[in-house]
Each structure stands twice: as structure tokens, then as C-alpha cells.
Amino acid sequence: MADSLVDYESLAAAVLPAEVRDFVAGGSGSETTLRLNRAALDSITVTPRVLAGVDEPGTSCTLLGGQFAMPVAVAPMAYQRLLHPEGELLLAAAAATAGIPYVISTLSSVPLEKIAAVTPSWFQLYWLRDRGLVRTLAERATAAGCGALMVTVDVPVMGRRLRDVRNSFALPPEVVAANIVDMVTEAHSAVPGLSAIAAHTASAFDPAVGWSDLQWLRSSSELPLVVKGILDPRDARRAADLGVDGVVVSNHGGRQLDGAPASIDALGPVVDAVGNHCAVLVDGGVRGGIDVVKALALGASAVLIGRPLLWALAVEAVDEALALLGQELRDAMLLAGCGDLAAVARLTTGRTPWLISS
């Protein structure tokens, strides 16, 4: 039994191969942005309201037309069968139990249709060189009943993840990108001093994707469209002007441009830029209920949570982890004097300078 979501990382370390731990935990370059995500969240303070008369805080919310138990979604994460033989299916079932959306990765190791049958899902779409395959994936997501498309736009190339390079990391044969291949690819061929995952990304992803492609996707699918990987408010506004239904403020968990700002620091300017034109979600470093409160107080509609759930998946504790997150959220709201999410949005936040510089 873990006492906090942070505990699952050490529990997982006892059962996972070192190279898999590094694949999940690592960031790009010197991992500056990876560290910034957590440091920035730690530096934010929340001023509680007192005598609020709150007994049981309400955490339910509406996101992209769906009703959910709390403003949290499972982030899209690739190759979950690296962590557990059931992979995405086990985590998706936990999301269903918790009443939150599960975002299916293009690079999931279980076909999207099987995952969508388990829980209310959104489908995350990487932009592939094969435009026909992009269209097919969007159509499959629609047919499977996914509630939204979430297109990731911050991976023209994969960030240089030195842990994977040093480990010459490659996928085992039994773990595949089930939505786009049915055979062994470059991702399975270990080469000394290289990341096989990065090699596969370079061959499959289109680095030249642009705004016209996003406009094409908006016009070709009736599903709500979310753009993930935005940090600059100018990009957020342009996406909103194209009619997207949401943006995700994200630096890809510190796994792309090393030196990019912490996601939580980019959140406020993006919220101001889009106004009420679309939902604004955020990810990066979320490790507990108080982090959800901080994000919502800064204007987010919801948060995505990633790595802690992968660590919990490795030790078959995803139901426990999501129940713990829900309890932490309710406790934080009660301590802050918030009876509902609207009250959270009215909280006052600040910064602790000594934590910013540490």
C-alpha cells in the first residue's frame, strides 16, 4: 500500500529492468525541463479560504462533452506492456473504475479498439508520414467510440533521450505499436549507442506537419479536437482560432526540447490567450491531488497524469493509485475551503522564491 503517488516509483524499481525504468523516467538532454516541471509545481502556493462550510467537496466535471468523476485524465503513454503483460487494458480498466477518461496513444501496445471497449477514451494521434494512415486512425477512433481526438504537435523529431541512447534501448519482440504495425520494426532492433525507439519515430513521424494539416484534421473529423504540446500563447490562440475544442499545455514530460519552460509556468498565459474559446488542460510533473488544485486555480480545465500511473501499473496497483489521487484531491479541496471545482478556480496562488531557485 502506497502512502502517496510518488511511492510507486520506488516500488516499480524493484520489479522492472533498469532500461525500462530509464525509458519511463527519463527526459531529453540534461533533463533540465524534466526537473523544472516538478520544481515549478512545488514553488506554487495556494491560499486557503476558511469557514467555507464544506463537508464533502464535489469533484465531478464536464470535459469535451463527457461527464467525469474528477478533472483528471490518464495521459497518452506508449508501450504500456513494457510495464505489465496486460498493459493498456489494465490501466484503462482502472480509469473506468475511477470515472475518468483514458487517452489511448497512437503507440499503444494494445489495439485502440480493445482499449476503447474497456473505458470512455480519447485517442491521441501522432502525425505520421502516411497521410492515409492518419485518416484511417482517426476513422478507427471514431468507429471505436472515442470521445475526442488529441493530436500531439511537439514531436517533429524525438528529443535526444540520453538514458535510452546509453542503454541502446529497443523494444522486446512481444511489445509492438499495435495501432500502426503488425510486425517487428526499427524499434525492436538494438544498435549500440542509439535509441531504437527514436529510430522508429524518425521513420514513421512527419516532421513537416503544419497548421494546414491541423486545419485538414479539423475539417475531416467530427470528433472534438484537442491539440497537445502547446507552450506559447500565440500558438494556443491560433489553434483556438482554427476551432479546436481544447489545448494541452505540455512539454511532453520533459522528453522533447530540453530547456523548454515548465508546463505549469506556461499555463496562465495560454489560458489568457484562449479565453473561453476552448478547454485548457495541462500535464507535466503532476504527483498528487494538491497539484490538481494548483493547476485548476491557475485556470486549467483538467490535468493529465502519466508516469505515476505507469509505476503503479508495474506493481498492479493502478486502481489503488487512482483512488489515492481522488482522495488527495478531495482532501486538498476541503483544506482549501472549496466545495466544488468552481471554488478551486477562485483560489489565490503565489510563488515561493526559495523553491524556484533550489
User: What is the per-residue burial (b if ≥16 Cβ within 10 Å, else e) of 175-196?
Assistant: bbbbbbeeeebbbbeeeeebbb
Residue 338 makes CB contacts below 8 A (sequence gap 6+) with 49, 52, 54, 57, 293, 344, 347
Task: Give pairs for 11-17: CB < 8 Å, separation 24+.
Answer: 11/311, 11/314, 11/315, 11/317, 12/83, 12/310, 12/311, 12/312, 12/314, 12/315, 15/314, 15/315, 16/83, 16/314
- Which member of 84, 188, 200, 252 is catalytic? 252
Instruction: Identify the H or E element spanning 293.
Output: helix 289-297
How far apart are the two ends of the chain, measured CA to CA in Å?
Answer: 31
252 is catalytic: yes
Contact between residue 311 and residue 8 where contact means Cβ atoms under 8 Å apart: yes
> Can you tell me the distance from the alpha carbon of 188 to that of 184, in angstroms, rounded to the nearest whole number?
6
> Can you tell me the distance from the alpha carbon of 27 to that of 109, in angstroms, rounded to the nearest whole number?
21
Closest CA relative to residue 7, chosen from 284, 311, 294: 311
The phi-psi region of residue 84 (left if phi > 0; otherwise alpha if psi is between -120 and 50; otherwise beta) is: beta
Strand, coil or helix: what is 121? strand
Catalytic residues: 252
